């Protein structure tokens, strides 16, 4: 059965997308590239009432200001599982559907969390810099921390957190976790008290959503609870950690090291962080493989198709 055309349905693409997804949207819809408009406000005032859907990503978001200027907006389709950059409350108030891309990226994000854990604890990137700088001929590289037998404390044992736990267990780590409530059917040790878990673990891995409810969750006091032999790994969102407090604690040696994929003000990474030797810094790439990004793009497209061709029955609604 051929599907009815959506060529007359107007959608707003907030910023450049995965090329295959962008091509599909632009081929099948009356699509506008928001980021290329010379005067976005003037365009919204003149054409905003035409827009039925937004296509965006976790990085690009969808603000309440833009949503407010689209009186006939019905749906927001986002590439990425985190939706802290999307004004979901404003959307919910108006009955606007929001979708994201959960589950398909769990493996790659968990791989990155585990890689950061290994890297910062075993000092692999630092050792790589040591060899490249020609320092091996002048002496041996210092010893690092063993992974096996250590306690990994996961904040946010959701889809990604559980994939991290599986990997950590395979490295003979003891898995502890903190959620607001225990996860049914999970054998890992649950801590209702986040402070107690941080005190007990050797490496704290953050896998919670961003947004108001987790903003500054890991503050100066909690960073100190990790102790001078403790490590922090963040693949969640920069907003979850007090970044200035983290830099201070790393500089003072009050914690041993950090592995970061996410930052307070991406893509700006403070020079103070770059200057530290005991951090591994990645440019928010945790889901960044050909396979996973394609799966995310496919899921966005499936949601769009489901919305417009299957009675608005999207696959992965938010909330
Ligand atoms: P998920 O399945 O919804 O899991 C989130 C977990 O966090 C749940 O177990 C939830 O349990 C817990 N949680 C939520 N709020 C909490 C709070 N205030 N305190 C303690 N625990 C809390 O989400 P996911 O798919 O695993 O993704 C998690 C996050 O990872 C995303 O939202 C995104 O920000 C981030 N992420 C980053 C990258 C990257 O490229 N670096 C890629 C993908 C995702 P309770 O509800 O029981 O508390
Ligand atoms: C994406 C992410 O790279 O899914 C998420 O929440 O942070 C990443 O997988 C990002 O959302 C795409 O902009």
> 116-170, pLDDT tens digit by residue?
999 999 999 999 999 999 999 999 999 999 999 999 999 999 999 999 999 999 9
- 237 is an active site residue: yes
How far is Cα of residue 94 from the mean position of the Cα atoms in its chain? 26
Residues 272 and 300 placed together within one structural domain of the fold: no
Backbone angles phi, psi at 274, to 5 degrees: -60, -35
Q: Is 287 in the pocket of ligand 2 (CB under 6 A)?
A: yes
Q: Is 158 in the pocket of ligand 2 (CB under 6 A)?
A: no
CB within 6 Å of ligand 1 — which residues?
81-82, 102, 105, 109, 155-161, 178-181, 207-210, 213-214, 235-237, 261-262, 284, 286-287
Q: In this predicted model, which residue has the larger pLDDT, 3 or 218?
A: 218
Whether 223 is in a domain gets the answer yes
Residues 259 and 170 placed together within one structural domain of the fold: yes
Whether 1 is in a domain gets the answer no
Q: What is the pLDDT of residue 2?
A: 73
Report CA(60)–ligand 1 centroid distance (Å).
19
Whole-number average pLDDT of the chain: 98
- 123 is an active site residue: no
**pLDDT value at 40 more than 80:** yes
**pLDDT value at 3 more than 90:** no
In this prediction, residues 171-175 reach a mean pLDDT of: 98
Testing ligand 1's pocket by substitution, the residue of 57, 58, 61, 82 carrying the most ligand atoms inside 8 A of its CB is 82
Whether 317 is in a domain gets the answer no
Whether 319 is in a domain gets the answer no
Report CA(209)–ligand 1 centroid distance (Å).
4
Residues 112 and 153 placed together within one structural domain of the fold: yes
209: tokens are 């959503």
Residues 24 and 160 placed together within one structural domain of the fold: no
Residues 120 and 261 placed together within one structural domain of the fold: yes
Q: Which of 266, 277, 309, 312 is the catalytic position?
A: 266
| CATH code for position 223 | 3.40.50.720
In the structure, what pLDDT confidence band is assigned to residue 182 with cuts at 50, 70 and 90?
very high
Residues 123 and 223 placed together within one structural domain of the fold: yes
Residues 10 and 94 placed together within one structural domain of the fold: yes
Report CA(44)–ligand 1 centroid distance (Å).
33
DSSP-based three-state secondary structure for 88 = helix
The closest alpha carbon to 155, from 168, 147, 167, 165, belongs to 165
Whether 263 is in a domain gets the answer yes
Report CA(77)–ligand 1 centroid distance (Å).
19
Which domain range does residue 127 map to?
106-281
Residues 125 and 214 placed together within one structural domain of the fold: yes
Q: What is the pLDDT of residue 37?
A: 98
Whether 316 is in a domain gets the answer no
Residues 123 and 96 placed together within one structural domain of the fold: no
Specify the number of domains making up the chain.
2
Q: How far apart are CA 127 and CA 119, in angstroms?
A: 10
Q: Which helix (H) or strand (E) holds 283?
A: none
In the structure, what pLDDT confidence band is assigned to residue 1 with cuts at 50, 70 and 90?
low
- 162 is an active site residue: no
Residues 39 and 134 placed together within one structural domain of the fold: no
85: tokens are 């950059």
Residues 156 and 222 placed together within one structural domain of the fold: yes
Report CA(138)–ligand 2 centroid distance (Å).
42
Give one DSSP letter per residue of 119-163, joined into a string. HHHHTHHHHHHHHHTT-GGG-PPPP----TT-EEEEE--SHHHHH
Whether 199 is in a domain gets the answer yes
In this structure, which residue's CA is closest to atom 5 in ligand 2?
A: 80
152-187 burial, b at 16+ Cβ within 10 Å, e below that, comes to bbbbbbbbbbbbbbebbeeeebbbbbbbeeeeeeee
Residue 272 neighbours by CB distance under 10 Å = 13
Residues 181 and 273 placed together within one structural domain of the fold: yes
Whether 127 is in a domain gets the answer yes
In this prediction, residues 31-41 reach a mean pLDDT of: 98
């Amino acid at each position: 059965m051929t599907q009815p055309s959506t060529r007359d349905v107007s959608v707003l693409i907030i910023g450049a997308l995965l090329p295959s997804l962008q091509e599909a949207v632009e081929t099948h819809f009356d699509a506008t590239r928001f980021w290329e408009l010379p005067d976005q406000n003037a365009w919204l005032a003149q054409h905003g009432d035409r827009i039925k859907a937004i296509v965006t990503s976790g990085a690009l978001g969808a603000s309440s200001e833009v949503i407010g200027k689209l009186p006939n907006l019905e749906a927001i389709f986002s590439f990425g599982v985190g939706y802290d950059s999307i004004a979901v409350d404003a959307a919910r108030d108006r009955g606007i559907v929001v979708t994201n891309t959960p589950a398909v990226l769990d493996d790659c994000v968990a791989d990155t969390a585990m890689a950061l854990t290994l890297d910062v604890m075993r000092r692999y990137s630092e050792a790589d810099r040591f060899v490249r700088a020609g320092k091996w001929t002048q002496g041996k590289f210092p010893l690092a921390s063993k992974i096996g037998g250590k306690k990994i404390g996961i904040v946010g044992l959701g889809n990604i957190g559980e994939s991290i736990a599986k990997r950590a267990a395979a490295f003979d780590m003891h898995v502890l976790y903190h959620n607001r409530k225990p996860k049914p059917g999970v054998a890992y040790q649950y801590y209702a008290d986040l402070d107690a878990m941080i005190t007990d673990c050797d490496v704290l891995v953050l896998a919670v959503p961003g947004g108001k409810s987790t903003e500054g969750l890991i503050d100066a006091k909690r960073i100190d609870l990790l102790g001078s032999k403790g490590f922090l790994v963040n693949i969640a969102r920069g907003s979850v950690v007090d970044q200035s407090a983290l830099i201070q604690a790393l500089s003072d040696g009050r914690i041993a090291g950090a592995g970061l994929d996410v930052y307070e003000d991406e893509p700006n990474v403070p020079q103070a962080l770059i200057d530290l030797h005991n951090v591994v810094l990645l440019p928010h790439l945790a889901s960044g493989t050909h396979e996973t990004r394609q799966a995310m793009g496919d899921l966005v497209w499936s949601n769009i198709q489901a919305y417009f061709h299957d009675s608005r029955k999207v696959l992965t609604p938010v909330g």
